[in-house]
Structure 1
Amino acid sequence: MSTTPELHSDIDLRELVISLLAGDEDVATVNARATDMVYRSEVRTAAEELAHVAFVRGDRAALHTAHWVLSDIYEWCFSLPSIDQVDSLVSEILDDIRTVLENAMLADLRGKLDDGGLDSAPQDPESFLPWYRNFISSHRASNHPFYRDFLENRASVEDIRFYLAQETSLDPRFDDILSLLTVGTDGSEKMELVTNLWDELGNGSPDEVHTAVFAKTLADAGVSKSFVDTNIMLESLICGNVSAALALSRRHCYKAFGYFGVTEYLTPRRFRSYIVGCKRMGLPKSSYVYHDQHIQIDARHGPAWFKNILLPVISREPRCASDIALGTVMRLETSAWYLDALQAKLEPAG
């Protein structure tokens, strides 16, 4: 975990967020701070300073800190509040920090994307789907050597353990993400999202809920929370934070439809490579039962996502095609960066 970089503000955002989430101060104290506009302004200023150093100046230590802060806040967003905090206004302070860092993160990402192909994205729904499939399939993230070569042929048991730790940035909350994407949808979009969610929930069987199966996979592999916190890469945090940002903010819902459509489409082929590697090493089925489930399920959900979500959404509002396309490239590019970093970490050149 990176240390906090030298900043001018007297407020250490990471320490502040950890303290707020831990409930170190009573509700009355937190609420007094939340209604103190001078204090709120100081917090926003500290967030803006961190955002500038991290995302404009590109300081890697600051970047780690910014993404850890966002990751902590997103973890809170996807959790039930403590009964001791139900009357707390802590969300108002956290939202100030989140808004500043999230906007800076997405602006930085937008500036780094290789989005030259987006100009060709059609607004006609019947033309969009073939373009969308081809755009995904032709991107280097679609057939990345980390999966098709390294995992299948050379990864060790420790490499698998490290890889599983990185995957915790998205997999444990995907059912909640689907729930959030369902809000406000109608017709085939809602039905597809709910069908997908029901599969994530093990079709009503608690033991088959995918988050529970994934948690067991982690436990069997010895991937504890402390192991994750110690070993998770910056690129993994970025993927998880972008995923959370798109799911939680309604203004990004069309980007999210494109972004998570890529996830559904690529999961089966990626997880097949993972299973090939596990079988090569003679690992027990418990190490890949989660992945085997998703191969079967997402083979259906990928094409259905295109047909039942993207097609009707663009048919109703053609202008959203550009946002869907942007979300698509956001997922592909961040995924490629993540896999590049993962392979470089586990199989350094030379």
Structure 2
Amino acid sequence: MTLSDAPAPTLSAQTLSAQAQAPASPTLPSPAPLASALAEALASGGAGLDALAQVGPADRRDRFLTLLEVYDLHTAPLERVGDRARLQHHPDVAALKGRLEGEWLAELEAHWEAAGPLTTCEGPEQVVRAMRSVAARDRLPAAYRWLARTATYEQLVHFLALEGGPDGGFDDLIALCQVGLGGTAKLELGKNYWDEMGQGDLAGVHTELHRRLVRALELPTVPRDELPVEALEREAFGGLLATNRWLQPEMIGALGLLELQAGPRCRLVLQGLDRLGAPQDAYPFYVEHAEVDPVHGKDWMDKAIEPLSAERPEWGARMVRGAYWRAALNLQFFAAVMDELVVADAG
């Protein structure tokens, strides 16, 4: 079997088992007792954290809502987190985080072990080829083709509100990802970050472009406790990588995958905006990514993945693993949200 024959990213065996009784559409909001208990303990200054030491989540939804509460302590704006940030490294919080992440990583790892020859790629050329192989699979998911050709205006607005852009939080993630790197890899990530910052022009900062998109389309803000579980897992994945230094190789691969895939997907979003007559302010965010990300994707391979694979051979397959994990979570999310919107429209 060659790299191009490797299995496409899909759900892990454990995930499939856990969701065997679930419908094809996103898991409906359900009570999250562990996440609620953690939020209350954090709000009270830590009282009651010790009682959570052996408490398990009610389900996968509760797991990811709980982890997102923890990740907020590490990466959310301080004006939102407030004094709770003091509990970032509280022993009981750290123990809960490690326990829930351990269960999740076991699922992700079992999925990776089924990826065939991707798991044993060696040397810069094989690693880059494996990265491109992962990116090529479902580069244009059915959800994006649906946006371009079929979705109604309301469906497009709902999907984009949940999607959050092709790289939601990418600027903060890339800033964390470059810590400790050197050489061309650090330069490439720095160049990428500078583009995220609009190359010094506030109006061109990608988060500002996204705010224009939100205003133009009147995208709703969906509260976290109303998000489908697939969206929660996808969001939590960034926190998993950002708060575990040992996962730096996987983070480099996951972010590189975004750069490889965002351009073609953004072009399909633009087709949908054209077809539905969207306001002009809805365009700059996706135009920027459609034009710039293909260049970033190539440079990420040539100047980060390839040299890092040569300098640190043990990182090669791990970078591919991060890309594979991210691809699987993306496809799971896209399919579930599209199913929900199509079913809701049919009803």
In the alignment, structure 1 residue 182 sits paired with structure 2 residue 178 = yes
Q: Does the 8 Å contact 1:271/1:291 carry over to 2? A: yes
Q: Does the 8 Å contact 1:255/1:328 carry over to 2? A: yes
Hey, what does 1:15 align to over in structure 2? 36
In the alignment, structure 1 residue 146 sits paired with structure 2 residue 143 = yes
Hey, what does 2:70 align to over in structure 1? 73
Q: Does the 8 Å contact 1:217/1:286 carry over to 2? A: yes
Hey, what does 1:288 align to over in structure 2? 283
Classify 1:190/1:128 alpha carbon distance in 2 versus 1 (closer, same or farther; 3 Å): same
Higher relative contact order (CA 8 A, sep 6+): 2
Hey, what does 1:2 align to over in structure 2? 29
Cα distance in 2, alignment partners of residues 169 and 99 from structure 1 = 29
Q: TM-score, normalised by structure 2?
A: 0.82
Q: Does the 8 Å contact 2:266/2:290 carry over to 1? A: yes
Secondary structure at 1:283 match in 2: coil
Q: TM-score, normalised by structure 1?
A: 0.82
Deviation at 1:288, TM superposition (A): 2.6
Hey, what does 1:233 align to over in structure 2? 228
Cα distance in 1, alignment partners of residues 201 and 113 from structure 2 = 42
1:163-215 Cα deviation digits (max 9, x unpaired) = 12222397442100000001000010110001000000111112221112212
Classify 1:145/1:306 alpha carbon distance in 2 versus 1 (closer, same or farther; 3 Å): same
Cα distance in 2, alignment partners of residues 318 and 330 from structure 1 = 20
Cα distance in 2, alignment partners of residues 193 and 276 from structure 1 = 30
Q: Does the 8 Å contact 1:125/1:311 carry over to 2? A: yes
Cα distance in 2, alignment partners of residues 189 and 335 from structure 1 = 25
Cα distance in 2, alignment partners of residues 282 and 87 from structure 1 = 44
Q: Does the 8 Å contact 1:17/1:69 carry over to 2? A: yes
Hey, what does 2:128 align to over in structure 1? 129
Deviation at 1:217, TM superposition (A): 1.5
Structure 1 counterpart of 2:324, from 323, 329, 333: 329
Cα distance in 1, alignment partners of residues 66 and 235 from structure 2 = 12
Q: Does the 8 Å contact 2:251/2:319 carry over to 1? A: yes
Q: Does the 8 Å contact 2:73/2:84 carry over to 1? A: no
Structure 1 counterpart of 2:238, from 240, 243, 267: 243
Q: Does the 8 Å contact 2:217/2:278 carry over to 1? A: no
Cα distance in 2, alignment partners of residues 169 and 43 from structure 1 = 35
Hey, what does 1:163 align to over in structure 2? 159
Q: How does 1:24-43 map to 2 (within 5 A)?
A: 25=44, 30=46, 33=47, 41-43=50-52
Deviation at 1:90, TM superposition (A): 5.1
Question: Any runs of at least 4 consecutive aligned residues in structure 1 with deviations exceeding 6 A, and if so which?
Answer: none
1:90-112 Cα deviation digits (max 9, x unpaired) = 54143333222222222223334
Hey, what does 1:202 align to over in structure 2? 198
Q: Does the 8 Å contact 1:259/1:324 carry over to 2? A: yes
Hey, what does 2:104 align to over in structure 1? 105
Classify 1:134/1:297 alpha carbon distance in 2 versus 1 (closer, same or farther; 3 Å): same
Q: Does the 8 Å contact 1:265/1:299 carry over to 2? A: yes
Hey, what does 1:299 align to over in structure 2? 294
Deviation at 1:249, TM superposition (A): 1.1
Q: Does the 8 Å contact 1:144/1:336 carry over to 2? A: yes
How many residue pairs are counted as aligned between the two chains? 316
Cα distance in 1, alignment partners of residues 343 and 37 from structure 2 = 36
1:27-56 Cα deviation digits (max 9, x unpaired) = 5xx3xx4xxxxx65532211xx22xx5xxx
Letter in 2 for 1:199: D
Deviation at 1:326, TM superposition (A): 1.2
Cα distance in 1, alignment partners of residues 226 and 165 from structure 2 = 12
Q: Does the 8 Å contact 1:71/1:241 carry over to 2? A: yes
Cα distance in 1, alignment partners of residues 167 and 126 from structure 2 = 31
Secondary structure at 2:139 match in 1: helix
Letter in 2 for 1:2: P
Deviation at 1:237, TM superposition (A): 1.2
Cα distance in 1, alignment partners of residues 333 and 299 from structure 2 = 26
Cα distance in 1, alignment partners of residues 50 and 154 from structure 2 = 46
Secondary structure at 1:2 match in 2: coil
Q: Does the 8 Å contact 1:118/1:326 carry over to 2? A: no
Cα distance in 1, alignment partners of residues 166 and 269 from structure 2 = 17
Cα distance in 2, alignment partners of residues 74 and 285 from structure 1 = 35
Classify 1:73/1:222 alpha carbon distance in 2 versus 1 (closer, same or farther; 3 Å): farther
Unaligned runs of 5+ in 2: 1-27
Cα distance in 2, alignment partners of residues 297 and 64 from structure 1 = 35
